[in-house]
Amino acid sequence: MRALGFLVLATSTGCTLVLSETPCDTVAPPGASDPSDTAVDSGPAGDTNDTGDTGAPLSRTAQALVAGGHHTCAVDLSGAVDCWGLDGESETTAAPAALIDPTHLSAGYRFTCALAGADPSTPTCWGDESSGQSSPTGNFLGPLAAGGAHACALAETGGVACWGRDIEGQTRPPEVVRASESLHLLASGWLFSCAQSTADSAPVCWGYDDSGQVSTVPAGPLDAMALGQGFGVGIDRTTGQSVCWGHSDICARVLSEGDEPWAQVVAGLDFACNRSETGQVTCWGTNANGVLTDVPATPFRSITAGPGGRHVCGILDDGTDQVTCWGLDASGQATP
């Protein structure tokens, strides 16, 4: 990491973030031995000591959810976008009131992007703008994937195009991805992204590769994919098992098989969660802020986690559409 040209952000919360390193309000990831692998400040008081949310469902309801580093956004039952959590870069309050029923919504570390309709359009983004991540140009289709300080989507002209921070090459997908006429899966993590062109092809990744997160991708197709800091996770299309590539300490803890087939996988800073076909959620990786141990036993219809984040939110699968969250909650990101 020392060879990289660091971009430093000074936020209104007093947290100073070096984007090439560990996100603020966290400890170093497993195996980080170099002092430069940690955030330069612990962030808002209490963030790293928060014991997590109780997971008790509150009154907020939603039809879709996305989680960022310290905020969460929902599409409510009326179709409006509503966000909560840290607001130092207006990542929560700047959601446009006119944005109704977005077809695609994705949250990055300190920003969020949305596509408003089925026709190609320029994504609407709000929040941190230090690397241009909230100012895309050109027309795009879904899927849409926001990462640490960059985002990617399927361009109207075909192939994946990205915008935002590019010091580590995360906005420069390889030619095979730029030239592809189809896009089956797309995910962005901390300083890297991955895409899978078709249901039968293998994923391709680009960007920062300190732990093999770009160079050791699975050789076969995936049915789902999510990216954290230095690692990726997916559901193998052939076996139905979870696969992990990149950071060896995290991937050594991968939950390969469950009692039933996996339907979804999400990833945060240094953990991942699997949701089974009946809605049961199991999380694995680093257990900070109760993100592994405070998982509610109630079935979920969907779950979400975000780049640099240590919280998870989900929509209950009990007919209520209620949102519940657990994990780090110092900024209110896990209190819907």
Name the residue ranges covered by the structural domains of the chain: 52-327
Q: What is the mean pLDDT of the chain?
A: 85
- In tens, the pLDDT along 274-283 reads 999 999 999 9
Q: What is the pLDDT of residue 32?
A: 33
Q: Output the six-digit token pair for 21.
A: 């390193």
Q: What is the pLDDT of residue 184?
A: 96
Count of beta carbons in the 10 Å neighbourhood of residue 202: 14
Q: What is the pLDDT of residue 13?
A: 31
Q: What is the pLDDT of residue 279?
A: 96
Q: What is the pLDDT of residue 17?
A: 34
Count of beta carbons in the 10 Å neighbourhood of residue 283: 25
* Residue 104 · residue 144 · CB < 8 Å: yes
Report domain 52-327's class.
Answer: mainly beta
The 3-class secondary structure across the chain, one letter per residue, is CCCCCCCEEECCCCCEEECCCCCCCCCCCCCCCCHHHCCCCCCCCCHHHCCCCCCCCCCCECCEEEECCCEEEEECCCCEEEEEECCCCCCCCCCCCCCECCCEEEECCCEEEEECCCCCECCEEEECCCCCCCCCCCCEEEEEEECCCEEEEEECCCCEEEEECCCCCCCCCCHHHHCCCCCCEEEECCCEEEEECCCCCCCEEEECCCCCCCCCCCCCCEEEEEECCCEEEEEECCCCCEEEEECHHHHCCCCCCCCCCEEEEEECCCEEEEEECCCCEEEEECCCCCCCCCCCCCCEEEEECCCCCCEEEEEECCCCCEEEEEECCCCCCCCC
Report the Cα 118 to chain-centroid distance in Å: 23
Report the Cα 150 to chain-centroid distance in Å: 11
- In tens, the pLDDT along 301-318 reads 999 999 999 999 999 999
CA distances from 252 to 209, 213, 241, 245, 277 (A): 18, 14, 14, 10, 24
- In tens, the pLDDT along 110-145 reads 999 999 988 899 999 999 999 999 999 999 998 999
Ranges under pLDDT 50 in the chain? 1-22, 24-57
Q: What is the pLDDT of residue 38?
A: 27
